[in-house]
Amino acid sequence: MKHARYSPALALGAAGALLLATACSSEGGREQPADGPETPDLTIAMITHQVQGDTFWDIVRTGAEDSAAKSGVDLEYSSDPEAREQASLVQNAVDRGVDGIAVTLPSPDTMEGALAAAEEAGIPVVALNAGIDHWQEMGVQQYFGTDEYLAGVAFGERLNEEGVGDVVCVIHEQGNVGLESRCEGLAEEFDGDSETLYVDSANMPEVRSSIASRLEESTDTELVATLGAPIAVTALDAVDDAGSDAGVATFDTNAELVAALQDGQVLWAVDQQPYLQGYLAVESLWLFKTNGNTLGGGQPVLTGPAFIDETNIDEVAEYAERGTR
């Protein structure tokens, strides 16, 4: 059974108005003005599954750092794409006694022990970006991101409108529940033929060769659907390598992808506003610790999806130059 049709423009205005390495870490924030309101000194840890070189997380981190700077929060950012290592980083933050934790949940089962330790220690946890179907059952307080399945459905609907017949959906992190949901939603809604291709985003030459090989083997492929901006840019090279006429459309953006949209090389991108995810995750923990506030009323706070294409790319490009889109 197909899900109800979803309006992909829903989140663009509403969510916007609310406003690197592996196992890397940094601190951000600033001193509060002397004449400002007295608030407690807070240390917040943000722990993601960032793969080295994935520019998506630069945008998330910028949002987090801007929120931290505004509120005088000491932000500790760390990341690891390996689920067990990411869970260890969360446990380390618990052991240090941080005031709050913002975490992504691409592999929820692996994170259970660390999140239980945070709950036992009385440390509030919010989730962002990945884990929309699992955060509530894991004792997480709030969630900021997009519904990945519905984003996939919206993508499939767009493919139908464009009359595309054969698509390959490229998953660049095998086992990531959010990425799997995108391709699942696409396949559910799409009237044509779709196939999933797994690649490793930590090895971009392999990504390029794998996509090119797939296009050489399946000459009927009309569109490569990628799930991240760096993969989309690499897919453009792979299309050329294969001598294919396939188009490229994607989820997520970065500055290079925005330029490709402006040039018409990439057909469209589904935006989940990563800056907003990082910003709201830190902001929500600050609000909770200083005023007992929570956002979303027990429901996820959606930051997408919304389409970026030739009709609105020039507006987005202005913000991409600032590193926030």
CATH 3.40.50.2300 applies to domain 10-146+272-304: yes
Its pTM stands at: 0.84
Per-residue pLDDT of the chain (325 residues; tens, 9 = 90+): 343 333 444 443 334 434 433 344 445 554 544 455 566 699 999 999 998 888 899 999 999 999 999 999 999 999 999 999 999 999 999 999 999 999 999 999 999 999 999 999 999 999 999 999 999 999 999 999 999 999 999 999 999 999 999 999 999 998 898 999 999 999 999 999 999 999 999 899 999 999 999 999 999 999 999 999 999 999 999 999 999 999 999 999 998 999 999 999 999 999 999 999 999 999 999 999 999 999 999 999 999 999 999 999 998 998 888 889 8
- If you classify domain 148-271 with CATH, what class do you get? alpha beta
Distance, in Å, from the CA atom of 234 to the CA atom of 213, rounded to the nearest integer, reads: 13
**Long-range residue pairs from 193-197, CB within 8 A, at least 24 positions apart, any chain:** 193/165, 193/166, 193/167, 194/166, 194/167, 194/168, 194/169, 194/225, 195/167, 195/168, 195/169, 196/168, 196/169, 196/170, 196/171, 197/168, 197/169, 197/170, 197/171
Location of structure tokens 């699942």: 184
Distance, in Å, from the CA atom of 158 to the CA atom of 165, rounded to the nearest integer, reads: 12
**Type of residue at 178:** G
Domain ranges of the chain: 10-146+272-304, 148-271
